[in-house]
Each structure stands twice: as C-alpha cells, then as structure tokens.
Amino acid sequence: MKTAGLPSPINQCQRDFHKLCELGGGPGGGPPRGKVQDLLDNAGKDLNHFAYEEVAEHFAQLPGRNPWHICFAIGLSWGHLAKFDITFTEAAVNVLEHWNGTDLHTACTFHLERGAEPIHFSLSGAYQLFQKVKLPEALPDNLKTLGRAQERWMTPILSPERPRYIGSWNATAMFMVALFAQPNLAATMVEPTPMLPPGGPIYGALKMLRKVNMLTRDPAGSELDDQAFEPGAIYENNALMQDLLRGRSGWSLLDVHSGLYTLGSRNHSLT
C-alpha cells in the first residue's frame, strides 16, 4: 500500500509504520494487524517508561498534597500547555488548593507557544470543578472506582456551564495520570474504564490507521481537544483503542494509547 496521504514521518515509530504500509500484506493491502500491534506496543511501553518515572518523581517531591491536584497539573504539562517542571506542578497544586494570584502567576510563566491563557483558564476551570465534585481522598486502587470518579468529574462538564478550557483533554487526562501513578493497576487496564484522552495525536494516529484499513470506522472529534468538548468522541475513540488491543496479550490500553500518541505525534522531541 502506498503511503500517500499519511503525514511525513518524524520519529522512528512513524518511519517503521510507513515501511509496514509500503510492504502491505494486511487487510485491503494495508499493513498486517499483528505487526502494527507490535509497533504500537513497543512504542507505547517505551514512552510509558518515562511517564511512570515523571509521575513518580513529582509525587515524591510533593508528599501529602492532594493527589488529584498533582495529576491535573501533570496533565496540563503532558497536554503541551505548560513545561514539565516541578515548580510548575507545585504552583498549580497550590492554586487548586487555595486560589491565589502569586502561584497563578508562577504557573503561567511556564507556558509554551500558546501562551499563558490556556494555563490560566484550565486552572480556573479545574478549581471550580474541584469545589463542586467530591473525589476520593486517595487515588482509587481499582479501575472500577477510578472510572466512577471520572463519571463524577464529568457530570458538571456535560452541563451548559462547562468551564472554559475544560474540554476532552482536561476531562480525561487527570485520570490517565492517576493510572501512571499506579503502574501495577495500569497494567491491568484492558477496557476503557476510566476513559483516556481521545484527541490530539491520538486522533491523528487513529485517522492514519483508518486510512490503511486497520480500523473499520473513522475516529470521532478532532485533533484540537482543549476547548471543544464532544462527549461522543471520548467514547467512540476509546472503543477504537480497545479494538486495537484485541488479539494480543501482554499489553494494556495505556500501552495502546501511548503507542498511538507516538504514532500521531508531531513533536520532534519523540524522534
């Protein structure tokens, strides 16, 4: 199968994917399903190795703080709204605990190319949500309870009063980070409970896989997932991730998600 229409590869995972597409041998002339699963598994586990370390490091440096606040702050960095730095994480946690201009200013200085506004309004929206939604004091150590916590978090997000910048990413990323804080629990995740972020590079990768006949339907939503909120896209794209998981043992939905992130990323730091 020709690779026309696919983005130019910028990392090794994408280069290997292009080679698989050129060789064909799978459904409709696309790449073999098993080899694409191998590729996603290896890329996902490589990325997750660093993610587990990053989360463990920040939790270790912020003992006794609200774990949900830490997870939300890390999610902002992983969503490329802020630099990943313990000073940012601590300032964001301080703001979410007690809203104040000093820590808000500090947090906003860690903005990336999109400026300080996404950080400001993401923290403002999260602060409002944390005032409304009661979450367990500790991160749940089983997937079902973690999924129920996500349902509570999403209830006000589904309302007409959804805070600005609380879109698909901020509705789901905090729970993804909670999984990275518990590697043994994350390894057991084979169903989308809790649901994982559906947009950005994930959407891009799913779109690529659809183009080469790896998926039977298009992903929902769009690559921009910070302000827009399409609840259906979260469910639809998590179902597609679960479909990619099937037929191969020894990996989790978090591995699939991170593999898709690497495949769909336009971030040159993943080269």
Q: Note down the domain range covering 129.
A: 52-182
Rg (CA), the chain: 18
Using one digit for the tens of pLDDT, what is the confidence trace for 157-176?
A: 988 888 988 988 999 999 99
19 and 89 in a single domain? The answer is no
Q: Is residue 106 one of the residues assigned to a domain?
A: yes
Cα(189)–Cα(180) distance, integer angstroms: 11
62 and 178 in a single domain? The answer is yes
Q: How many CB atoms lie within 10 A of CB 175?
A: 25
Whether pTM exceeds 0.85:
yes
Helices (H), 159-271: 168-180, 183-186, 201-211, 231-245, 253-264
225 pLDDT band (50/70/90 cuts)?
low
100 and 36 in a single domain? The answer is no
94 and 112 in a single domain? The answer is yes
User: Do the beta carbons of residue 120 and residue 92 sit within 8 Å?
Assistant: no
Of 117, 148, 182, the residue that ends a domain is 182
* Per-residue tokens: 6: 């696919």
73 and 168 in a single domain? The answer is yes
Average pLDDT in the 52-78 region?
98
Using one digit for the tens of pLDDT, what is the confidence trace for 110-141?
A: 999 999 999 999 999 999 999 999 999 999 99
Q: Is residue 7 one of the residues assigned to a domain?
A: no
The CA angle 82-85-90, to the nearest 5 degrees, is: 95
173 and 198 in a single domain? The answer is no
